[in-house]
Chain A
Amino acid sequence: NAGVMQNPRHLVRRRGQEARLRCSPMKGHSHVYWYRQLPEEGLKFMVYLQKENIIDESGMPKERFSAEFPKEGPSILRIQQVVRGDSAAYFCASSPRDRENSPLHFGNGTRLTVT
């Protein structure tokens, strides 16, 4: 059973470009969570999605950031007009649909560098 897959592992963007980060959850999981970890800091929750629905986006910056989890395909975290402060590791996690008490399983992240 493959784990949570994130790609790309490393992404370099120049200021003002767009960054698209992809997350394929574990098989059978329909809950996806995105976290951000700035250099030398802790993990910060960004957004929680189920298929085609955003459940909790309390940690998402109000501008430039968006997330989706379509019926088919991976979850996408999109950052428009990136700035140097967006440089961070972005982690995705997934959990199963009907098991509230199930642990989240994390991918190994996408490291975004903005030059």
Chain B
Amino acid sequence: DAKTTQPPSMDCAEGRAANLPCNHSTISGNEYVYWYRQIHSQGPQYIIHGLKNNETNEMASLIITEDRKSSTLILPHATLRDTAVYYCIVRVVGTGTASKLTFGTGTRLQVTL
């Protein structure tokens, strides 16, 4: 699986949009971009994933550049409960069976009042 690079930490004011960047310059054509987060001591929580088109769900939006070498996770109105470590993961699919996720060190997002 391709490696990802994320800033180790970010701050965001409550109510503002949180934009979390991720570089995955060696991504292959059959690799998806997944985002998870881990709130202190809980299990990782799935947020969103995409291949090449931008995606939106009730939690967040995922913007993937046209060359697919980077992406941005957007939390449109951050709250204190969004304080967590956010992981950007690329995952190969299409090999005939579901594949594992490889977690990096992520971005620690601190949402402040």
A residues adjacent to B (C-beta < 8 A)? 4, 31, 33, 35, 42-45, 48, 50, 55-56, 89, 91, 93, 95-96, 99-109
Q: 8 Å CB contacts to A: which residues of B82-111?
A: 93-106
Q: Cα distance A93–B44 when bound, in Å?
A: 9
Q: Cα distance A91–B105 when bound, in Å?
A: 17
Interface contacts (Cβ under 8 Å), in number, total: 60
Closest 8 CB pairs of A and B: A106-B43, A43-B103, A103-B46, A108-B43, A100-B93, A106-B44, A95-B98, A101-B93
Residues of A within 8 A of B102 (CB): 45
What DSSP secondary structure best describes chain B's contact surface? loop
Residues of B within 8 A of A104 (CB): 46, 98, 101
Over the window 18-42 of chain B, the binary record of Cβ atoms lying under 8 Å from chain A Cβ atoms (1 yes, 0 no) is: 0000000000000010100010011
B residues adjacent to A (C-beta < 8 A)? 32, 34, 38, 41-46, 49, 93-106
Q: What is the distance, in angstroms, from A96's C-beta to the closest C-beta of chain B?
A: 8
Could you say which of A35, A42, A100 contacts B105, with CB atoms under 8 Å apart?
Answer: A42
Q: What is the distance, in angstroms, from B22's C-beta to the closest C-beta of chain A?
A: 15
Of A45, A102, A104, most B-chain CB atoms within 10 Å:
A104
> A100's closest neighbor in chain B, by CB?
B93
